[in-house]
């Protein structure tokens, strides 16, 4: 498998197939991150697409880290900016990103669980919500999250620990098994 930086170099040189491959590899995770942070699936798609536009125009002088981490950083910053602009962090509803399920009943149960989880996550303190979103929706490593948010690694670990603990407790209170 060709590494992302090499594919990105091809994409920048005009290889449309390479650009599509970068998009295929990273777009779903970006939508999960941005939808959760911005408060709607539509905004998540817009911000994820804008992240790719920004990536294409970015002046990258080194290849430290991963392309995924760079894209996640761009998406994170755009999502935070959009959420602040719209003041969405005060809302209790957020986007539901659901997977296809075989039966309507299973889908209904999953949507209800997703809705409850989204409410619980939205009520977390902002610092915990951001790291939790990057970790579980964006699939970023702890080191990547520390880099993206600009906080020490130990702080990232602590925030994720307490965010997960709070979510488990709140879900248990609402009768959702974890």
CATH number at residue 9: 1.10.1740.10
Exposure of 160 in the CB half-sphere (CA atoms within 13 A)? 22
Q: Are residues 130 and 73 in the same domain?
A: no
Lowest mean pLDDT among 90-94, 114-118, 163-167: 90-94
- The pLDDT of residue 102: 46
Total count of domains within the chain = 2
Residue 101 — very low, low, confident or very high, per pLDDT cuts 50/70/90? Answer: very low
User: Which domain covers residue 78, as residue numbers?
Assistant: 1-89
141, 168: one domain: yes
44, 107: one domain:
no
Q: What pTM does this model have?
A: 0.56
Q: Of 25, 60, 89, at which residue does a domain stop?
A: 89
pLDDT the model gives residue 88: 45
For 149-165, letters b (16+ CB in 10 Å) and e give: bebeeeebeebbebbbe
For the chain, the average pLDDT equals: 81
């Amino acid at each position: 498998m060709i590494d992302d930086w090499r594919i990105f170099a091809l994409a920048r040189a005009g290889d449309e197939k390479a650009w599509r491959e970068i998009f295929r590899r990273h777009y779903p995770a970006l939508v999960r991150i941005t939808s959760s942070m911005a408060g709607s699936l539509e905004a998540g798609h817009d911000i994820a697409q804008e992240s790719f536009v920004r990536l294409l125009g970015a002046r990258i002088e080194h290849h430290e880290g991963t392309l995924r981490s760079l894209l996640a950083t761009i998406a994170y910053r755009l999502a935070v900016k959009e959420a602040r602009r719209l003041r969405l962090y005060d809302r209790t509803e957020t986007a539901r990103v659901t997977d296809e399920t075989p039966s309507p009943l299973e889908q209904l149960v999953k949507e209800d669980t997703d809705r409850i989880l989204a409410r619980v996550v939205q009520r977390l303190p902002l610092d915990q919500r951001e790291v939790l979103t990057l970790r579980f929706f964006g699939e970023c490593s702890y080191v990547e999250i520390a880099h993206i948010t600009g906080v020490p690694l130990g702080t990232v670990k602590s925030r994720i620990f307490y965010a997960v603990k709070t979510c488990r407790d709140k879900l248990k209170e609402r009768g959702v098994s974890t």
